[in-house]
Structure formats: C-alpha cells, structure tokens
Chains A and B, each alone.
Chain A
Amino acid sequence: MPEIKPYGDETGDGMVQLSFTLPLAESERARQAALALATKMGIQRPQVVHMKGMGSDFTFFVVYGATQHSVDPDTLTVEEREFPLLSSQEVNKLIFERLKRPLVVIGACTGTDAHTVGLDAILSMKGFAGDKGLEYYSQIRVVNMGAQVTPDEIVEVARSEGADAVLVSQVVTQRDAHVLHLKEVREALEAAGLRRGLVLVGGGPRFSPEQASELGYDRIFGRGTKPSEVAAYLAWSVTHEVPV
C-alpha cells in the first residue's frame, strides 16, 4: 500500500484541524505564535480560522492546514484481537463443553473509586449499548462486589467462590491511581497464591490493552468495550492455556 495522508476533501490533501490554547493575551503576536507552532507540528500553510481571548492571559485557536507527514499502514505492527468474537450461545456452549460447569466471575471496583458504571455495564443483565451483560449468560455465574472493595476482600471472595476470573474496574482516577489500584489487586492475589489459577482482567476508560503486561494482567479492556467481548475473551481464555 502506498503512503497515505489525511483526507480533507480530496485524496492526499493532508488536511487536519487542530484546536489549542496558548498562554498569551489575544493579539497579532499570539496569532503568529499559533501559526509558528503549527508549522513546527508539520502543518503546511496553516490558517488560524478562529482566535478568541479567554481572560487576559489565554487565547484559544482553531487551526486548519495540511500535514507534511504520511504513513504506510503496512509497515505498522498491530496487535490483533487474540480471541474470536462469539455469540452468547457459542460462549455458553464452549464453557459447557470444556468446563462442564458454569464459569465463575468476580467483579469489583477497587480503591476509592465509587463509580460502578463500567463494572455494571459489563456484569449486569442490562449490559451496555444493547449488548447484554455477563449475568445474561447461562454458563457464567457473576459475583458483583460493587465499589470500594479492598484487594483482601477480592482475594477472600475469589477463594470462597472458586473464581475462574477476576474483573477489576477503575473509572474515576487521577495521578495514575487506577494503575496503582490494579497492581494492588494483582499483588494480593499473588500473595494468596491464587494468581496462577485464574484469569485476571482489568478495565476502564483510561486503560489501553497494551498495558496488560506492565500491570501483570492477562487482559486489559479500554473505553467502549462491550460485555460480549469480555464474555468471548473469558470463554476463550479459560478453555485455552491461561497466559501467565
């Protein structure tokens, strides 16, 4: 494939739009600063189409221009999804045939985060965006521990329920607290000797799948994940060798 550029209204024009704020009062100098910055960003023939002072110290810009850069998509290494997407019947069938019992999933929001919206979207019957949650699957048994659960409580319930998988959700965080909280759960499971026996999954809008190895998780799901993806992953991973 040839190198490609952004498409504005004709092939190869490279047109992009940018918006940003500079810590300068609105002035001709501020406009020139915005243009100079866009040029440094590789934007050719930049145009400030909107400039607005915000108070006496800041100015907001909208800039259009053509990027000088291009990419060759074929040269990129892309991590494709390692598991196949399955329907709910296929997931139930796979678990039933391989495990001969329902798969047990524990889910919790840990740390100070009280927002269960992400966890509930994945676990509750209702699901998310028309996609039913894990409770809907006849061969998945869900234990939703809710919010502000401590790593020790997760360990305890994972043991008493005989969990096959643990899902940890983080929604509202700052200063990398979400990373820290996920690590704490993994460490608690390791200390209890449970880590190897189960699939450990993290999720939340601030995560990306590439963070799995750094966090010591089997899989990380990011923004917009649907319950059916999680169900398919869990069915796939417990019926395959669990990566450690």
Chain B
Amino acid sequence: MTHDGFARPIGRLSIDHGVVDECRELSVEISRPIEELARTHTTRSIERAVLRLIGITGAEGAGAAAQPRVNQVIDAVDATVGLQRGVLVPFLHAVESGCGDIRTAAERIAAGDVRPEWPDGIDLEIALERARRESRRAVDSITGAELDRAAKIEKMGEPGKPWFYLIVATGNIYEDIPQAQAAAREGADVIAVIRSTGQSLLDYVPEGATTQGFAGTLATQENFRLMRAALDEVGDELGRYVRLTNYASGLCMPEIAAMAAMERLDMMLNDCMYGIIFRDINMQRTFVDQHFSRMVHAAAGIVINTGEDNYLTTANAIEAAHTVLASQFLNERLALSAGLAKERMGLGHAFEVDPAAPDQILLELAQAQLVRECFPDAPLKYMPPTKHMTGNIFQGFLYDGMFNLVGALTGQDIILLGMMSEGVHTPFLSDRDLAIENVRYVFRGAAGLAGDVRFEAGGRVERRAAQVLEECRQMLRKVADIGMFAAIEAGMFADTVRTRDGGKGLDGVIERDAGYVNPIADLLADELGVG
C-alpha cells in the first residue's frame, strides 16, 4: 500500500535558524567528551559483538538461562590476558595455534582446555593478519545487509511514507509470527517485536528460539532470523517490503546491533541516553556502547529510532517539551559522529500533552512542526499518547485520531499506531485493526492538507515553538557549561540523578591500552569516514 500525497512540510512555521544553529554547535561541544570516551574505551559487550561478528555462535543452555559462548570466551580472555587490548588477538592466536576453526576454538576456550595468551613476534603478526581478514569479512557482512535490503525492496516494492508501525509482543516467537504477518496484511509497514521486560539489564544475549517472556519477546538472534524470514514471506505475498524493528539498548546494545545487521533488521531503537536515565545503566557504559552500535547500524543501513518519547511519560509534556528537543539535538550529534546519516535518524517524540489542558492540540501541533523544521532530513518517529490513556476507550480512540491528524499535518514519517486499549491490557486483534482503520482514514483525509497549512506569523503556534526552542537553547547552554556528565549527575534530564560511576555495567567498561586491536571498529570508522 502506498500513502499518496506524503510530503514533509518544511518552512511552514517560521523559526529562528540562528537558534537552531547554536543548538547544533552546543551539541558538538557537549558531545566531545563522550566521543573521546568512546575512542579510548571498549566494553565487554563491544568485545562480545566483535566475536559474534566473526562467527562465534551458540551457548550452553537455552533461552534466558543460556551461557552464550561469546560470554565464556570474554570471561576466559579477561581472566588471563585482560581485555584492554581487545579480544581478537588472543582469541585468533588460539585459532592459529591449532585449536581448529573459530567455533571449535571458542568451545575449547569455554571448556577451559585452552588458555588464552597474548602472542609475541611472528605469532602476533599471524594473529593480527587473521584479525584483519576476519574483520574484513565481518564488515562486508554488515554492509551486505544494506545491499540485501535494497535488493529485496527492488523485488518486493517500497511502501510509501508514512510508515505505519505496529508492535507485537506475545513473549512467544511462534505466536508473534502469525500476529506480525496478520498485522502486515492489515497494513503495517513496520513490525516491532517488543522485548521482554528487563532484558536490557541482562549482561548477555539469550539464545535460540524462545516461547516465554514478560510483556514482550526475548531478543535472540534466532528470534530475529525467524521473524525476518516470516516478514520476507509476507512481503513477497503483498508486493511490499515489511520492515522489522527491535531494540539495541541495555547492557548488550552492541551485540544486539551486530545481530540486527547479520539478520537484516531495518530499524533499531537506539538512544544515546535512554539506558542511563530510564534503566539506570552506567553512563560511561552507555556512551561507549552507543558509539560502536551506531557505527554498526550506519554500515548496515539501519534506521535508528531514538527514545525521547520516554521523557514525557514521567515529566509534564508542556513543561518538558524543550528536553525532548535538546535530546534530539544530542542524539543527532552522537549519531553523526558515529557515521550515521541524517536520513537514517528516526528521532523520536510523542503526543503526550494532557487532553484536559486548554490548547492541547495547538501545543502538539507546534511541537511536531518545530521538530519537523529543525530536522528536515530525519525520518521522524511519532509516538501516540500513552500517559493519559484511560479505560475510556471511546475517548482514547478519538485521542489517537487527533494524534494521527497532527502527524498527517506535520509530515511525520514513522507513525506508531495508538491502541484505544493502551493502559488497559495488551491489545486485542481487533484493537489493532481499528487502529489501522483510524490512521488510514485520517491520513487519507488530511495528509494532502499538509502542503497547504501555514502558521500565522506571530501567531500562537509560532510563539509556542519559539518558546520551546529558546528553552532548549538555554538548557543546552547550561549542559555545555557544566559538561554532559555533570548535567546528568545534576538531574537535568528527566529530573533523574545518575552518577558517573553509578548504575549497572560500569565493571564492563575497559580503558583501551595503546596496543588495542579492533579492526572491525577501524574498518567501520574508515568506511563511514569517522574518527
């Protein structure tokens, strides 16, 4: 299905581009120490992602109780030569010293039969040469995802914008598949498989096809593969490529990014700060992990979705509107520095102003158009109301309709479909069908209007947008002043105080030694033209 008449309405709302430029400059300044941190550190999860990318798979046990092979190898290397020079050399030295192929070597190291060592002289040369070769192959497989996707789209057809984004989350991949296929047949362009609650706090990736989860389905490589195949099948049937989304967040962000590339996922939730603020993951861990993850996403042609909507689930959407914008500027900067093009930044925001507030729709329209004007090239992702959805499903259905209307008038690219039963239970099959009926009706009727809408100079929409933009500038100035780490420690984002050394996962952050070897990261940086 194509949604004719979609265009991004730009230049409809007069904003001060001098302020926008200053916000971008401030974001560059704020991001510098984060980029430096990422350049000088690695994490256990980055090293595990490297091992996954050179072909180590499998685990002892299955599902959420699995002990993945990559974790076992990392633990063994950490306990012997340490991780400050990276995992590749000691691991591939073991391979080259007669441990067999990559898979067998991993098994033997995991079993304790082989003790990882850092080689010298000619052995080091051999291991480095092997590392370069395996890394080249790994990076080719990451960039191959983009070519693969392009070929599929060529064959199946590209859905027009906006893309309707639907969530499935039964906990059981085999239940998710027919639901996802049904949703695609009903009109969904993007399927997101919500992760099981709490997966972000696991410091390993569960293994295999899984049938149990809490409020979602575990992200595993096998689950990714199964869903990808199912959506390709339905895409062939419908003559329209159906995109698959998952979540590169939490303690295993880089590994999930690598799995997404290998299994040709198309969009990944990936925010530079979400884990810190909302999951209490250590800030250094998150900042180092997000950089590597974003390079992988960039090379694989994956569109990232950022998580600014989350700010509004706790804060007041009228008072905290500028924090969403500030976070979008920071997410943009940290994506650019990882080589991700603006066309791949699904910056997130949400429709969360209290419907009881006067001018609710005016405020939402001002925010949505402001974001559109500030980020003209970004495929914006617009999230429906959740915080003020109640058991009054009739009101909720209308509220979702208003969200769709604002989305249509402001040219939001990716529309997450609102469910009238949001906040009551997991959606019924019929709730999803009704949501698609709602969004189709509104876009059919109103998307064409977007081209004709202009906001009055000096009018209330313009004044509100200018106010939010100014508050955003003030906030970014303050953050630049004290530095990003101190700003988070001062609770400047979502009123949540997080300390530099607090939260989960700090023990997995490792300062790189001068001899650090990670040709995958180097090749990615070269290809993407980033330092």
Question: Which A residues fall within an 8 A CB radius of B?
Answer: 19-21, 52, 54-55, 58, 60, 111-117, 120, 126, 146-148, 172-175, 177, 205, 223-224
Q: B197 — which chain A residues lie within 8 A by C-beta?
A: 112-114, 172-174, 177
Residue pair A55, B185 in contact (C-beta under 8 Å): yes
> Is A116's CB under 8 angstroms from B280's CB?
no
Chain B residue, CB-CB nearest to A130? B356
CB distance from A109 to the nearest CB of B (A): 11
In the bound assembly, the distance between CA atoms of A178 and B197 in angstroms comes to 12
Q: Residue A205 contacts which of B215, B423, B434 (CB distance < 8 angstroms)? A: B423
Contacts of B426 in A (CB 8 A): 174
Flag if A21 contacts B279 (CB, 8 Å): no
Q: Are B198 and A112 in contact (CB under 8 A)?
A: yes
User: Are the CB atoms of A126 and B316 closer together than 8 Å?
Assistant: yes
The one of B185, B201, B214, B387 that contacts A173, using a Cβ cutoff of 8 Å: B214
Report Cα–Cα, A201/B427, bound state, in Å.
Answer: 29
Are A172's CB and B433's CB within 8 A? Answer: no
Q: Mark B388-400, 1 if CB is under 8 A from A, else 0.
A: 0011000000000
Closest Cβ of chain B to A43, distance in Å, is: 19
* A112–B423 touching, CB < 8 Å: no
Q: Give bound CA distance, A61 to B303, whole Å.
A: 38
On chain B, the residues within 8 Å of A116 by CB distance are: 314
Nearest CB to that of B197 among chain A residues?
A: A112
Listed in ascending order, the chain B residues whose CB lies under 8 Å from chain A are 171, 182, 185-186, 197-198, 201, 213-215, 278-280, 313-314, 316, 387, 390-391, 423, 426, 428-430, 433-434
Q: How far is the CB of B385 from chain A (nearest CB, A)?
A: 13
* B279 to chain A: closest residue by CB: A114
Asked if B314 and A148 sit within 8 Å, CB to CB, the answer is: no
- Among A54, A115, A117, point to the contact of B186 (Cβ < 8 A): A54
A224 vs B429: C-alpha distance when bound (angstroms): 26
A140 to chain B, nearest CB (A): 20
**Which 8 A-B pairs have CB atoms at the shortest separation, nearest pair first?**
A112-B198, A174-B215, A60-B430, A54-B433, A21-B430, A174-B214, A112-B197, A55-B182
Instruction: Report 17 cross-chain contacts, Cβ distance below 8 Å, ordered by A residue.
Output: A54-B433, A55-B182, A55-B185, A58-B430, A60-B434, A112-B197, A114-B198, A114-B278, A117-B313, A117-B314, A147-B280, A148-B198, A174-B197, A174-B214, A174-B215, A177-B214, A205-B423
Cα–Cα, bound, A146→B314 (Å): 12
Q: Look across to chain B and name the residue whose beta carbon is closest to the beta carbon of A57.
A: B182
**Complex partner residue of A175 from B201, B214, B391, CB under 8 angstroms:** B214
Q: Nearest B residue to A62 by beta-carbon distance?
A: B430
Q: What B residues does A60 contact at CB under 8 A? A: 430, 433-434
Chain B nearest CB from A176 CB (Å) reads 10
Q: Assuming A55-B186, A60-B433, A223-B391, what are 18 further A-B pairs, CB within 8 angstroms?
A: A21-B430, A54-B430, A55-B185, A60-B430, A111-B198, A112-B197, A112-B198, A112-B214, A114-B198, A115-B313, A117-B314, A117-B387, A126-B316, A148-B201, A148-B279, A173-B214, A174-B213, A205-B423
